[in-house]
Amino acid sequence: MLFREVKALIGKDIRLELKQKYVLNGILLYLLSTVFVTYLAFEEVITPETWNSLFWIILLFVGVNGISKSFVQESPARYIYYYTIASPQAVVLSKILYNLLLMAILSLLSFGMFLLLMGNQVVNLELFILALFLGSFGLSSILTMVAAIASRASNNFSLMAVLSFPIILPLLLTLMKISRMALSGPEWPGATGPLVILVTINLAVIILAYLLFPYLWRD
Amino acid sequence: MTDSSLIKGLWWKLLALLLLLYAVIYGFFIEVPYFEVTKESIRNVFYHVGMWFGMSAMLITSFIFSIRYLRGFREKEDIVAVEAANVGIFFGILGLITGMIWAKSTWGAFWVRDPKLDGAAVGMFIYLAYMVLRGSINDIHKRAKVSAVFNIFAFILWIVFVMVLPRLAGSTIHPGQDGAPVMALNLSGSTRIVFYPAMIGWILLGFWIMNLRIRIKRLGIRD
């Protein structure tokens, strides 16, 4: 039941996104121009450390921008309609999965832009791709919850940043740690600890979202 | 008025006063272990660390009352959650200030890159954001509900942050943890007889301030 609802809601979100292409185009352009600005600003001084920090900070900003619309893009009346036909758990899970898809595309694109403009610094590509995927998942789940919280308040956008930056830090720092390893050498063993932390954070956030979202969904 | 969210009685307030007076007076008389970096300033451990204990007690209280609010939607519990967070922020800022002054004299800088300091600062960011969130919702029931959700979500992620960060950063300059290079906080028996009473005193003082703030808030609502 839950699974079918989630599937239908994700399908709805994808169709909606493809219909209103300007939103998606806006976020893609935001990503491309931000990477280009940093490329121009940093000229020749890209060390692996800077590469790593810039990459994840840009991805964080892109994520905040792309996900903040999650619960405000449709009319309030339509949300009331969804409320009558779908369970809140299905709504939040579908949003998280849809945003995961969005973040995965954006992070791969961002990685491609970095490769193109700032050269390849990644040594252990498999580990880096794994970090990208787990990172997209974590960013999507935390930011979806924060978007749901911020959508209930006025001045949605600045709230989105203020609320999400401090609570996203454990995820972001763990990701940076893993990807720093992927940049510095091909070895895997040191990455197990941070990877376990990363998976734990993701699981905790999903459970919290599942339990807490119903309180945000009904008025 | 019988409700569980206010602590009754006079004895614990007197106890708080006695413990803090004891900590302030005897804390300056007691023989302390000598370290080259800290010298006599090690006595600050009775006061600076107390801020951290007070803050933790307040933030845990705030977290518990946010959960309790979501279980019954009683406004009283929302007031406890927000006032506990307010007092927690107060203690947190005092802890940052006392820590920064102490850090300047021992480590030579007001701020050093360290998991403990960063953890405390991020905690402050979270609870200040909590206050901003509350400020931007007008409907009181909606405000209580949404901010309770944020409080629970953020508190758990903050705990994760505080636990995870030292493991990512490796070594730390701040004591109170394994492998602190500068000054191991192995309080000798004589210091402990001031340290633990002082910590209890600071926590009780936190609850006292919180109780007063809750009562003021309730008077405002009844008007």
**What confidence tens digit (pLDDT) does each residue in A12-28 have?**
999 988 888 888 999 99
CB pairs under 8 A between A and B: 80
- pLDDT score for A21: 87
Q: Residue with structure tokens 């880096």?
A: A128
Q: Which residues are CB-neighbours of A72 under 8 A, at least 6 positions away?
A: A151, A156
Q: What's the CA gap between A164 and A147, in Å, rounded?
A: 9
Residue B105 pLDDT class (50, 70, 90 cuts): confident
**What confidence tens digit (pLDDT) does each residue in A135-148 have?**
999 999 999 999 99
Q: What's the CA gap between A166 and B122, in Å, rounded?
A: 6
- pLDDT score for B222: 66
Contact B160 A201 (CB under 8 A): yes
Nearest-CB residue to A166 (from B129, B136, B146): B129
Residue A130 pLDDT class (50, 70, 90 cuts): very high
CB burial of A84-93 (b: ≥16 within 10 Å; e: otherwise) equals: eebebbbbbb
In B, which residues are within 8 Å of A152 by CB distance? 137, 142, 146
Q: What is the mean pLDDT of chain B?
A: 84
Q: What's the CA gap between B123 and B92, in Å, rounded?
A: 8
Q: What's the CA gap between A171 and B42, in Å, rounded?
A: 35
| Cβ(B22)–Cβ(B197) below 8 Å | yes
Selected residue of A177, A197, A215 to mutate for chain B interface (largest B Cβ count, 10 A) = A215
- pLDDT score for B210: 94
Q: Residue with structure tokens 């200030």?
A: B97
In B, which residues are within 8 Å of A205 by CB distance? 157
Q: How many domains does chain A have?
A: 1
Residue B39 pLDDT class (50, 70, 90 cuts): confident
Please say if the pLDDT value at position B180 is more than 70.
no
Contact B133 A197 (CB under 8 A): no
Q: Is A75 helix (H, G, I), strand (E, B) or coil?
A: coil
**Nearest residue of A to residue B169 by CA position?**
A177
| Cβ(A196)–Cβ(A216) below 8 Å | no
